[in-house]
């Protein structure tokens, strides 16, 4: 397992470094920041000490000659223990800006691979969320229930997604990224298996709910891993890649599920088996190749190795002396998102906007049956294949907007550094709204276009091209929302994003239930027109924040003010 190899490699590197330090410096001078760790800080000084000769000192194991060698390492500072006034500890941190332990200093190839590896979680779990929607008719017939009732299998998976967001963040910030990936993915796969083996609708929807609950944990953790490995500027490239994979998941599900639905050779339950196979392959890849990236955990490992090598228990990481229990983290994680949502109109508006976008996206899981299958008499497989139009739009948005805004951001940073004579100048959060400023109008355009050209006498390519515009727009809004809120709230960003995740997925689960009656009662044209009008109203949100964002941040209790 990669995490174990990473832990062992760190220990060997520290041991080699201590040996080199011992060889170069038989005596370590004390400094104001770092004291030799084997010195009794309370003992009175004496005029003589017993000193071993150099040869015997170099031959003895590190743990037997004292910890003064470790104290010579950079990145270790002496501090007074917060819970004990008479006790000092040696707090371990990175050795400097180029420390190879820091994930941001890994090679570009390694960071790209790790980003791709965890980004596949969003694709695979998103696919599992939507794939059941393609076999609603067959599953409903098998269970002897209505299609609206069977749609709960997809809807409750999304509701489980929403509630899973409440525990994902604090979990990954307590035990690290990788244990969340491994543990939650394994449990999620077990519930997918339960859904595939279910003999009744009740058993199926319960298993699907918990599959969504545990499947959301690794999905939320991916954002943390990306933040661990990339600085804010390079996140302009890394995050759109993750967003594209995340939004491709719900699109890939009906593409695969459509062919399963129309096949007479396989059971509809193969939608669960396909999800399990894909998730299992991903889990193996994570176990074999994904290193831990969470800084507090890496520093805990470093402190643990130093305690082992030197025999001094005072080497600790900053996280180990804070004594924040898991229950305290969980309580804060559950309360703060609700408090911030009530007090921060920014979060309310962006939650509403992204929720509307997701309602439209997941509404298409049923809507495509009406738009393409009933209008153009297509099979289940071909209807699912047309979701590729949205996928093409996602990819185009990433390919066009990401390099454009990355170059623009570099120019802005250079300009700010020149004007303020500050090498650490940062662009304001409103810069990230340019994704939505450019792409958001594509969403209402796509709905009006599709709604009033989906006729048998109009070429099928017209609504297909409209779906490309929809994909372009939703990626733009998603990236703007996340990057704007992350940069605006910084340490409170996880709480802001937790509420957005909870509301949008819970509402999307409800949309799955109402979309079939909506398309039946309103018809394709008026249903899509209504969605277009709603999206048109919310399109004003990024423009409003671009204009009034600095003033809004100045009034916020939680936001960063530049």
Indicate whether 488 belongs to any domain. yes
Indicate whether 270 belongs to any domain. yes
Cα-trace Rg, the chain: 27
89: three-class secondary structure by DSSP: strand
Question: Do 87 and 137 reside in the same domain of the chain?
Answer: no
Taking the whole predicted model, whether its pTM rises above 0.85 is answered as: no
Residue range of the domain that includes 381: 103-292+326-555
Count of domains in the chain? Answer: 2
Q: Tokens 């703060």: give the residue.
A: 336
Question: Do 285 and 224 reside in the same domain of the chain?
Answer: yes
Asked if 164 contacts 489 with a C-beta cutoff of 8 angstroms, the reply is no
Whole-number Cα distances in Å, 353 to 311, 357, 397, 480, 534: 55, 6, 19, 11, 10
Whole-number Cα distances in Å, 219 to 16, 43, 50, 75, 297: 37, 53, 58, 33, 19
Q: What is the DSSP string of 342-376?
A: HH-HHHHHHHHHHHHHHHHHHHHHHHHIIIIIIHH
Question: From first to last of its 562 residues, what are the pLDDT tens digits of the chain?
Answer: 788 888 898 888 888 877 776 666 554 444 434 444 444 434 333 444 444 455 454 455 555 444 455 455 667 777 776 665 557 788 888 888 888 899 999 999 999 999 999 989 989 999 999 999 889 999 999 999 998 899 999 999 999 988 888 887 777 877 888 998 999 999 999 999 999 999 999 999 999 999 999 998 777 788 788 888 988 788 888 888 888 888 899 999 999 999 999 888 899 999 999 999 999 999 999 999 999 998 889 999 999 988 888 888 888 888 777 666 767 777 776 788 888 888 888 888 888 899 889 888 888 878 888 888 888 988 888 988 999 999 999 999 999 999 999 899 888 888 877 776 655 667 888 888 999 999 999 999 999 999 999 899 999 999 999 999 999 999 999 999 888 888 888 767 777 888 888 888 888 888 888 888 888 898 889 999 999 999 999 999 999 999 988 888 888 877 765 5
Question: Do 305 and 284 reside in the same domain of the chain?
Answer: no
Indicate whether 483 belongs to any domain. yes
Q: CATH code at 507?
A: 1.20.1250.20
Question: Do 77 and 89 reside in the same domain of the chain?
Answer: yes
């Amino acid at each position: 397992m990669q995490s174990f190899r990473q832990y062992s490699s760190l220990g060997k590197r520290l041991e080699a470094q201590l040996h080199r330090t011992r060889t170069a410096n038989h005596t370590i001078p004390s400094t104001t920041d770092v004291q030799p760790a084997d010195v009794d800080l309370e003992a009175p000084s004496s005029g003589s000490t017993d000193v071993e000769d150099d040869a015997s000192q170099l031959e003895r194991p590190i743990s037997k000659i004292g910890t003064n060698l470790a104290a010579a390492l950079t990145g270790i500072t002496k501090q007074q223990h917060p819970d004990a006034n008479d006790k000092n500890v040696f707090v371990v941190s990175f050795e400097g800006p180029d420390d190879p332990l820091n994930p941001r200093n890994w090679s570009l190839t390694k960071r790209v691979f790790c980003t791709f590896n965890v980004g596949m979680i969003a694709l695979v779990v998103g696919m599992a969320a939507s794939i059941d929607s393609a076999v609603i008719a067959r599953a409903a017939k098998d269970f002897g229930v209505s299609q609206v009732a069977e749609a709960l299998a997809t809807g409750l998976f999304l509701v489980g997604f929403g509630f899973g967001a409440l525990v994902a963040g604090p979990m990954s910030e307590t035990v690290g990224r990788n244990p969340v990936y491994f543990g939650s993915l394994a449990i999620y796969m077990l519930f997918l298996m339960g859904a595939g083996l279910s003999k009744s609708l009740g058993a199926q929807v319960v298993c699907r709910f918990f599959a969504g609950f545990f499947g959301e944990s690794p999905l939320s953790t991916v954002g943390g891993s990306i933040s661990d490995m990339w600085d804010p500027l390079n996140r302009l490239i890394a995050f759109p890649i993750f967003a594209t994979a995340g939004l491709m998941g719900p699109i890939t599900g009906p593409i695969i599920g459509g062919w399963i639905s129309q096949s007479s050779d396989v059971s509809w339950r193969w939608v669960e088996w396909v999800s399990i196979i894909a998730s299992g392959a991903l889990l193996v890849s994570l176990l074999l190749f994904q290193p831990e990236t969470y800084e507090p955990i890496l520093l805990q490992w470093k402190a643990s190795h130093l305690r082992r090598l030197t025999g001094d228990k005072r080497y600790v990481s900053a996280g180990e002396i804070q004594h924040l229990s898991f229950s305290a983290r969980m309580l804060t994680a559950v309360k703060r998102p609700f408090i911030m949502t009530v007090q921060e109109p920014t979060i309310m508006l962006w939650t509403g906007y992204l929720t509307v976008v997701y309602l439209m996206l997941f509404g298409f899981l049923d809507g495509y049956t009406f738009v393409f299958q009933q209008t153009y008499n297509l099979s289940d497989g071909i209807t699912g294949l047309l979701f590729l139009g949205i996928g093409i739009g996602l990819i185009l948005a990433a390919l066009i907007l990401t390099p454009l805004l990355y170059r623009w951001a570099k120019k802005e940073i250079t300009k700010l550094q020149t004007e303020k004579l500050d090498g650490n100048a940062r662009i304001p959060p409103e810069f990230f709204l340019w994704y939505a400023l450019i792409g958001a109008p594509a969403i209402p355009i796509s709905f009006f276009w599709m709604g009033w050209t989906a006729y048998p006498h109009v070429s099928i390519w017209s609504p297909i091209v409209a779906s490309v515009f929809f994909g372009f727009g939703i990626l733009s809004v998603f990236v703007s929302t996340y990057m704007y809120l992350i940069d605006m709230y910084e340490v409170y960003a996880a709480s802001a994003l937790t509420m957005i995740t909870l509301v949008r997925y819970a509402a999307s689960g409800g949309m799955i239930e109402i979309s079939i009656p909506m398309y039946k009662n309103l018809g394709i044209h008026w249903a899509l027109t209504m969605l277009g009008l709603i999206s048109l109203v919310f399109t004003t949100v990024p423009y409003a924040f671009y204009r009034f964002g600095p003033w809004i941040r100045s009034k916020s209790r939680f936001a960063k003010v530049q």
